[in-house]
A and B are shown apart, each in its own frame.
Chain A
Amino acid sequence: AQKVTQAQTEISVVEKEDVTLDCVYETRDTTYYLFWYKQPPSGELVFLIRRNSFDEQNEISGRYSWNFQKSTSSFNFTITASQVVDSAVYFCALSERGGSEKLVFGKGTKLTVNP
């Protein structure tokens, strides 16, 4: 069975601090896909990144970076020099081969960035 665990329920930081959101996953499949979504107060889910299980390269996009480690089944997300606009709930999700209809989400981490 698939499972995604985001152990941090809420995180509060001061602007310009770096923050890492943890994500640990469980799956029996060898082919799977990992996602991060951002949910601002407006409610929609905004896609941030997709990673497949064969690509362990870390990725950087501006202030965002992701660290994928199969050895520890983790897919952590770091925001560098956080800003107030980063305040949102962040979800890590997993799907197995066959399409994103089988997205299994973690419970989310609510990030508050204070000025």
Chain B
Amino acid sequence: EADIYQTPRYLVIGTGKKITLECSQTMGHDKMYWYQQDPGMELHLIHYSYGVNSTEKGDLSSESTVSRIRTEHFPLTLESARPSHTSQYLCASSEPGTGMNTEAFFGQGTRLTVV
């Protein structure tokens, strides 16, 4: 069973608020990712990290930012939330590859609603 945790599971906030979505994993994985899943169910990569102090933007442009100060922790921040940010955010991690893709373990997601 995957040991990757996201908090909160559900969040309803007002426009303009700053929020941080937490993601932690206890598997010692170097690679971590954030995916955004819109109401139409499609998932898009918005951020990823290869390790501490490494962050990259994904395929889908996002106004959110991430940080990776510790291996196990990969929080996502929205400085000023808007209704267009309403979505589910899924965090994932995977082991370092050795030329082979490895399985990505996903958290349960944070369902964010901005009103």
Q: Which residues of A contact B (CB under 8 A)?
A: 33, 35, 37, 42-47, 50, 52, 89, 91, 95, 97-108, 110
Contacts and interface: CB of A to CB of B under 8 A. Distances in A.
Interface residues of B, number: 31
A88 B25 CA distance: 25
Interface of B: 9, 31, 33, 35, 40-45, 48, 50, 58-59, 88, 90, 92, 94, 97, 99-109, 111
A106 B42 CA distance: 7
Contacts, number: 72
Contact of A99 (B90, B97, B105): B97
A33 B101 CA distance: 7
8 contacts: A42-B108, A43-B111, A45-B92, A47-B106, A95-B101, A99-B94, A101-B94, A105-B44
A50 to B, nearest CB: 6
A45 B106 contact: yes
